[in-house]
Structure 1
């Protein structure tokens, strides 16, 4: 099959299946890390910045996967209903991933400020601790939601690719 000339490829392979692996690996890994730092403030102090960096990379890979997926879909004619379902699920992933990224950022920053407040009875310290707890709860909720959406989106994409192409046995 000859693909369209404007399709971005790497060594002849469409970019989409390559970029998708960044989403599928980085976002769930970031979700696990974010959940851990949300539940253990001592880990947040030690691993907050690396988890935030991984989250940013995972979130940034989503629009690249979306763009390359749109290119691939156009190159293949865009008539597959399974790919349409995959695309619809992918469009929900982007806002979830952004929300997750913002929640992790707020968690790391509010946690840092909260840790620096010397007097825990001070009203400012209480506000930052409350913000940190709220960010932790929101981070865990969005980590789960983002991971579920990555799995759902990835499953429909892989089903669209392999539907009718994998031998089912027999002769």
Structure 2
């Protein structure tokens, strides 16, 4: 996919990644910390993570097309390099979401989902910590990629003074 309605597809698809990665990360962490949320979300959590995972290479591929159609400079190259690192984070979100969904589903099916709170097991504590690490890594990576993309797109692309003669701020 290269163009959508005359615009580079990357410019449009990036919005999905910017929204879906933090949303998936937040949902994963909430479900890891609060199993009842995972039970309520059910299959929605891994489906959300799957859509997130699929959106990353679609956006990256559209970005590679765009990279070949803009002037070559260090800012564009840096953005492309950073963008290549998001797929493993999205993959981690997906794997953890599936494991969490599967584990919570098995626990609920076995009748272990009673009203009595149980202490955190080492496995559950590890799942929470791993979810926090992967979620934080994914969100930080999206921020870094987005920041580098904005710098690449807007570097020398605007004036600090208004072009229509009015001073609005």
TM-score category of the 2 structures, normalised to the smaller one: 0.7 to 0.9
| Secondary structure of residue in 1 paired with 2:143 | helix
User: CA, structure 1 residues 107+132, in 2 after alignment: closer, same or farther (shift >3 Å)?
Assistant: farther
Following the alignment from structure 1 to structure 2, what is the Cα–Cα distance between the partners of residues 118 and 33?
Answer: 24
Matched, 1:100 2:93: yes
Listed as ranges, the matches of 1:12-161 within 5 Å are 12-77=6-71, 79-118=72-111, 131-161=123-153
| Secondary structure of residue in 2 paired with 1:75 | coil
Alpha-carbon deviation of 1:32? 1.1
Alpha-carbon deviation of 1:161? 0.2
Give the count of matched residue pairs: 156
Following the alignment from structure 2 to structure 1, what is the Cα–Cα distance between the partners of residues 42 and 126?
Answer: 16
Report runs of 4+ in structure 1 exceeding 4 Å deviation. Answer: 129-133
Aligned partners of 2:24 and 2:93 also within 8 Å: no
Following the alignment from structure 2 to structure 1, what is the Cα–Cα distance between the partners of residues 48 and 112?
Answer: 32
Following the alignment from structure 2 to structure 1, what is the Cα–Cα distance between the partners of residues 35 and 111?
Answer: 16
Specify which of 2, 5, 14 is matched with residue 11 of structure 1: 5
TM-score by length of 1: 0.83
Higher relative helix content = 1
TM-score by length of 2: 0.84
Following the alignment from structure 2 to structure 1, what is the Cα–Cα distance between the partners of residues 162 and 20?
Answer: 39
Following the alignment from structure 2 to structure 1, what is the Cα–Cα distance between the partners of residues 96 and 108?
Answer: 18
